[in-house]
Amino acid sequence: MSPLEELRHSAAHVLATALQRLHPETKFDIGPPTASGFYYDIDCPKRLSTEDFAAIETEMARVIAADEPFERRVVGREEARAFFAERGQTFKIGRLDDIPPDEEITFYVNGDFTDLCAGSHVPSTGKIGAFKLLGVSGSYHRGDESQPQLQRIYGTAFPTAAELEAHLAALEEAARRDHRKLGAQLKLFRLDSGIGSGLPLLLPRGATIRAQLETMLSRKLEDYGYDRLYSPHIGAIDLYKTSGHYPYYAESMYQPIRIEEREFLLKPMNCPMHIQAYTAEPRSYRDLPQRYAEYGTVYRMEQSGELSGLVRVRGFTQDDGHVFCTPEQLKDEFKSCLRLVQEVMALFDLRTRCRVSLRDPDNLDKYVGDDSLWTPAEACIRAVVDELGLEHSVGLGEAAFYGPKLDFMALDALGRSWQLGTIQVDFSLPERFALEFTGSDNAKHRPVMIHRAVFGSVERFLGLLIEHYAGDFPLWLAPEQVRIVPITDAQLPAAEALLARCKGLRLRAAIDDSSDKMGAKIRKAELEKIPLTAILGKREVESGSVALRSRAKGDEGALATEKFLERLKSEAALPS
């Protein structure tokens, strides 16, 4: 463990110590460090809430002030079992059974608390700097819905109070930007139990943003030479057996559907469908590359505890693309896919980190195809990132089951990393489907397949943008670009005429003709994060102008109506 992980792991033990003193009947499961703090899963007779945190933190502070040493003890398996059985710690007994017979069993003891733990820890509780409990939620034992439901208490810890304060400030800002909160506030999407968990419904404003994203990307795809496809939402199970998704991807698929004695699957991936498009007619080397693109909705089985707003769902749309090319074209086509991803990310001022995702050499059973198919695929990716000097990390075990890939993690305004697009090189599926093209030598050859996505999941990308912009979308993306506000009913005809002109320019505008006072109307537009507000009073109507307010600059003064419309048309244009 790193020093910070050791500190946070130790803080989790301090949390458990405090809970044992305050609620002696508590049963403990695990309490690991995380990337941003720690948690402990417990079965407590009392349903805890944030209102209980003050008392728990006070007790934790006492444990830290006592500067109790963390003592490591090696114990026998039966001794450990007897210790936890006597105290009714059934979850610890289960975790004890997970330890291989040839591994050492260790306890860590501080004060009156003893935990089954491999370590490591800071020397004593007094070495834990500043800490804070952050939340509590339900969690299933071992992440399995058939197991008992526990309570998970989250916290964080840092060496100094200043570091903790900075982290809490970042969490506050993250909460302000939370796409689930803003999605409801701005009426962008709805997660409704009547539809089903993990199945988001985009409302008109959210659908407008998605349509803008798709239109922008569709224009780029045309420039990059892609043809559009539309594939069905279900497919015959045999198709996915051939591809290898079934059974390699079976845990993420829904149960087969039987129709007229044949089994079908809700589509988990679009690629087998696109392969069928390639095989629709014979191919020559002169036909390659073939580039297909689709906004294809797919369905994945996610555990309920893993669902989160738009970023982790059960039904989502991929901006999926597949390129079928000759081996000689592979490198240039891969570079083309890379340029496309970089161009799109730059439009949103998103910095990206890249990861070369490879096979796990110790677990090759997870993958289809032998070295003859994987080696040239990996070599292509490595050659491109080296040639372009692309900064990247390497992720062993992160490859797709059919091939290695270059994954893109976008950094938002808070510096948080989001898994988005991917470019995957695949020699395996063309082999499994026996794809062919006729070469210049009139012989049959095997094409190479590139799988690529820019947004990845359109829903996840929308969630990222909501948080990245904190709901303040650039004018071209904003679901409502301008709010027209007549001061009195006398200016309503002029407002309706201006609205008609905006609509004629395909601008997204609306009139606030409510009886609210002017200040309330302006405040409402600000809360709804409307980029521009055009105010019409008697003077503006007589002079053919608008009094313009923008979220970025506030009051911008009077602007001639023609100039206003020219500005709107220019700034609202889709980026190229």
Q: Which CATH fold topology does 3-177 show?
A: Threonyl-tRNA Synthetase; Chain A, domain 2 (3.30.980)
Banded pLDDT at 299 (limits 50, 70, 90): very high
Residue type, 310: L
pLDDT exceeds cutoff 80 at 305? no
Segment 8-61, tens digit of pLDDT: 999 999 999 999 999 999 999 999 999 899 999 999 999 999 999 999 999 999
Residue type, 336: S
Helix (H, G, I), strand (E, B) or coil at 474: coil
Look at residue 370 in the predicted model and tell me its pLDDT.
87
Domain ranges for the chain: 3-177, 212-469, 482-571
CB atoms within 10 A of CB 94: 14
Look at residue 576 in the predicted model and tell me its pLDDT.
81
Q: Which CATH fold topology does 212-469 show?
A: BirA Bifunctional Protein; domain 2 (3.30.930)
Distance of CA 192 to the CA centre of its chain: 20
Helix (H, G, I), strand (E, B) or coil at 276: helix
Banded pLDDT at 564 (limits 50, 70, 90): very high
Mean pLDDT across the stretch 297-310?
87
23: burial class by Cβ within 10 Å (0-12, 13-18, 19+)? middle
pLDDT exceeds cutoff 90 at 416? no
Mean pLDDT across the stretch 118-126?
95
Look at residue 249 in the predicted model and tell me its pLDDT.
78
Pick from 148-157, 301-310, 438-447: least confident: 301-310
Instruction: Answer whether the bond into residue 289 is a cis peptide, omega within 30°.
Output: yes
Say which residue the tokens 């992440």 belong to. Answer: 143
Q: Strand 482-486 to strand 532-536: parallel, antiparallel, or no bridges (unpaired)?
A: parallel
By 3-state DSSP, what share of the chain in percent is helix, strand and coil, each rounded to 5? 40, 30, 30
Mean pLDDT, the chain, as a whole number?
A: 94
How many residues appear in the chain? Answer: 576
Structure tokens at 185: 């506030």
CB atoms within 10 A of CB 13: 28
Banded pLDDT at 246 (limits 50, 70, 90): confident
Look at residue 401 in the predicted model and tell me its pLDDT.
86
Share of the chain above pLDDT 70, in %: 100
Contact partners, residue 29, CB within 8 Å, separation at least 6: 40, 41, 42, 43, 91, 92, 95, 141, 150
- Residues with catalytic roles: 271, 300, 318, 320, 322, 405, 451
CATH superfamily of 482-571: Anticodon-binding domain (3.40.50.800)
pLDDT exceeds cutoff 80 at 533? yes
Q: Strand 392-396 to strand 351-358: parallel, antiparallel, or no bridges (unpaired)?
A: parallel
Banded pLDDT at 99 (limits 50, 70, 90): very high
pLDDT exceeds cutoff 90 at 414? no
Banded pLDDT at 144 (limits 50, 70, 90): confident
